[in-house]
């Protein structure tokens, strides 16, 4: 048996395309946020409200990843932002968005004038954390119905993200929800991560999140 | 599954062109504990991704690397098994992950054609 040295990163091809995406986004002065969560956390609802609230000030565009259907793209298109849906079943049913898939979607998107590109990743707390797409920041959405130990079960996701949105806080009166525990569990993974407690349904808590996002977008251009 | 397919692609591209009908017997990987990879799931996907390729009978040798964090306050390194991501020396939480994110192919092991020819005659 002959051993042949390889020493390559398994995801080097993805990292190369992600770097190309990042360069393109920089040239366009486009701030890119990669939004990740488990299915059903309310990602799309959070983005609908976010885009409606900041759209007047910050022109935005959206890429939505799902395995099947264009339901989320249809919802987000109503915000007025240009939207491209990616269905990963055309790419083998991937449970995440890879950099080349995002690059292809960007080529189909009218980005003229846009300053913010929102990428709604496929609902999954595991694999999307591993794939750089060339984004500026990564955002994890966690809903209060999901269980306080999610950050401990998916440490990679909470470690690679720059901001956490704790959604559906309007439901707290109906739940046995331990707010201190979920905050402590996020802090155990990343002590300094900003956490915004919000409700996409009632808009509670949205103002500080929107201010934070606007500052980030403006700091790039 | 995407990761398993990529491993097969990289391994095939690493076969030296002068070896005819090369058969890869083993792929040596380094996988950090802070990755989206679960070794057993990766092996399962690899078996599917490698069928009908020179890696069809190959095994995956996975060297797992621990999560090591470096403290931004005091500079100490801590190996952690589980959260919290905090310095064992000063308790600080401003830490950088210095190990545990690896997902690398180290080497492939190709079956020796001469040995096989001898075996074939027996």
pLDDT of residue B11: 96
pLDDT of residue B122: 43
pLDDT of residue B115: 53
The Cα of A25 is separated from the nearest Cα of chain B by a number of Å equal to: 25
**Whole-structure pTM value:** 0.92
pLDDT of residue A179: 96
> Chain A residues with CB-CB distance to B under 8 A?
1-11, 13, 92, 94, 96, 98, 126-127, 129-130, 151-152, 155-156, 159, 185, 187-192
Question: Is residue B121 a part of any domain in this protein?
Answer: no
Say what the ipTM of the complex is. Answer: 0.88
Question: Is residue B122 a part of any domain in this protein?
Answer: no
Q: Which residues in chain B have their CB less than 8 angstroms from residue A5's CB?
A: 106-107
Q: How far apart are CA B115 and CA A191, in angstroms?
A: 56
pLDDT of residue B114: 62
Whether B14 sits inside 8 A of A6 (CB atoms) is yes
pLDDT of residue A220: 87
The answer, yes or no, to whether residue B116 has pLDDT greater than 70, is no
Strand pairing report for A116-120 and A31-37: parallel
Question: Is residue B37 a part of any domain in this protein?
Answer: yes
The Cα of A6 is separated from the nearest Cα of chain B by a number of Å equal to: 5
Question: Is residue B17 a part of any domain in this protein?
Answer: no
pLDDT per position as a tens digit, B39-90: 999 999 999 999 999 999 999 999 999 999 999 999 999 999 999 999 999 9
Whether A10 sits inside 8 A of B97 (CB atoms) is no
With CA atoms as reference, the chain A residue closest to B80 would be: A189
The answer, yes or no, to whether residue B21 has pLDDT greater than 90, is no
Q: How far apart are CA A144 and CA A138, in angstroms?
A: 20
Answer left, alpha or beta for residue A163, where phi above 0 means left and psi between -120 and 50 means alpha: beta
With CA atoms as reference, the chain B residue closest to A91 would be: B2
Question: Is residue B33 a part of any domain in this protein?
Answer: yes
pLDDT per position as a tens digit, B22-43: 999 999 999 999 999 999 999 9
Question: Is residue B45 a part of any domain in this protein?
Answer: yes
Q: How far apart are CA B61 and CA B56, in angstroms?
A: 15
* % of chain B with per-residue pLDDT over 90: 84
In 3-state terms, what secondary structure has residue A63?
A: strand
Q: How far apart are CA B88 and CA B108, in angstroms?
A: 37
Question: Is residue B84 a part of any domain in this protein?
Answer: yes
As for how many domains chain B has, the answer is 1
> Could you say which residues of chain A have pLDDT below 70?
221
Q: Which among A9, A94, A151 has the least Cβ separation from residue B104?
A: A9
Q: Which among B10, B85, B107 has the least Cβ separation from residue A189?
A: B85
The answer, yes or no, to whether residue B117 has pLDDT greater than 80, is no
State the pLDDT confidence band at B103, using cuts at 50, 70 and 90.
very high
The Cα of B104 is separated from the nearest Cα of chain A by a number of Å equal to: 4
Q: Are A114 and A31 in contact (CB under 8 A)?
A: no
Strand pairing report for B95-99 and B67-71: antiparallel
Range of the domain at B80: 2-12+22-111
pLDDT of residue B13: 95
How many beta-carbon pairs under 8 angstroms link A with B?
A: 100
Q: How far apart are CA A127 and CA A156, in angstroms?
A: 9
The answer, yes or no, to whether residue B121 has pLDDT greater than 90, is no
> Chain B residues with CB-CB distance to A under 8 A?
1-3, 6-7, 10-11, 14-16, 25-26, 28-29, 34-37, 82-86, 93-95, 97, 103-112
pLDDT per position as a tens digit, A153-189: 999 999 999 999 999 999 999 999 999 999 999 999 9
Question: Is residue B116 a part of any domain in this protein?
Answer: no
Say if domain A12-220 classifies as CATH 3.40.50.720.
no
Question: Which sequence spans correspond to the domains of chain A?
Answer: 12-220
């Amino acid at each position: 048996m002959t051993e042949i040295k390889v020493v390559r990163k398994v995801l080097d091809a993805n990292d190369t395309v992600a770097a190309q995406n990042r360069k393109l986004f920089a040239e366009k002065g486009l701030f890119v946020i990669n939004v990740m969560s488990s299915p059903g956390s309310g990602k799309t609802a959070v983005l609908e409200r976010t885009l409606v609230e900041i759209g007047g000030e910050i022109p935005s565009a959206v890429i939505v990843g799902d395995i099947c259907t264009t339901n989320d793209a249809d919802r987000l298109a109503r915000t007025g932002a240009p939207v491209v849906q990616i269905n990963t079943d055309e790419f083998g049913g991937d449970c995440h968005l890879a950099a080349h898939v995002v690059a292809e979607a960007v080529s189909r998107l009218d980005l003229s004038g846009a300053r913010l590109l929102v990428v709604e990743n496929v609902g999954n707390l595991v694999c999307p954390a591993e794939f750089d797409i060339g984004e500026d920041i990564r955002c994890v959405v966690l809903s209060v119905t999901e269980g306080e130990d999610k950050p401990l079960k998916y440490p990679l996701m909470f470690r690679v993200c720059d901001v956490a949105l704790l959604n559906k806080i309007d439901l707290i009166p109906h739940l046995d929800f331990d707010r201190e525990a979920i905050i402590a569990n996020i802090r155990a993974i990343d002590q300094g991560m900003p956490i915004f407690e919000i409700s996409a349904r009632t808009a509670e808590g949205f103002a500080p999140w929107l201010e934070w996002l606007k500052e980030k977008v403006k700091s790039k251009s | 599954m995407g990761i398993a397919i990529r491993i097969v692609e990289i391994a095939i591209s690493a076969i030296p062109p002068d070896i005819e009908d090369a058969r890869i017997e083993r792929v040596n990987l380094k996988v950090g504990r802070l990755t989206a990879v679960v070794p057993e799931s990766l092996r399962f996907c690899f078996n599917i991704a490698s069928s009908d390729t020179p890696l069809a009978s190959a095994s995956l040798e996975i060297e797992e690397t621990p999560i090591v964090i470096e403290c931004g306050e005091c500079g100490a390194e801590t190996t952690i098994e589980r959260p919290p991501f905090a310095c064992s020396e000063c308790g600080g939480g401003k830490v950088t992950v210095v190990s545990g994110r690896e997902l690398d192919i180290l080497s492939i092991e190709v079956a020796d054609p001469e040995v096989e020819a001898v075996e074939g005659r027996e």
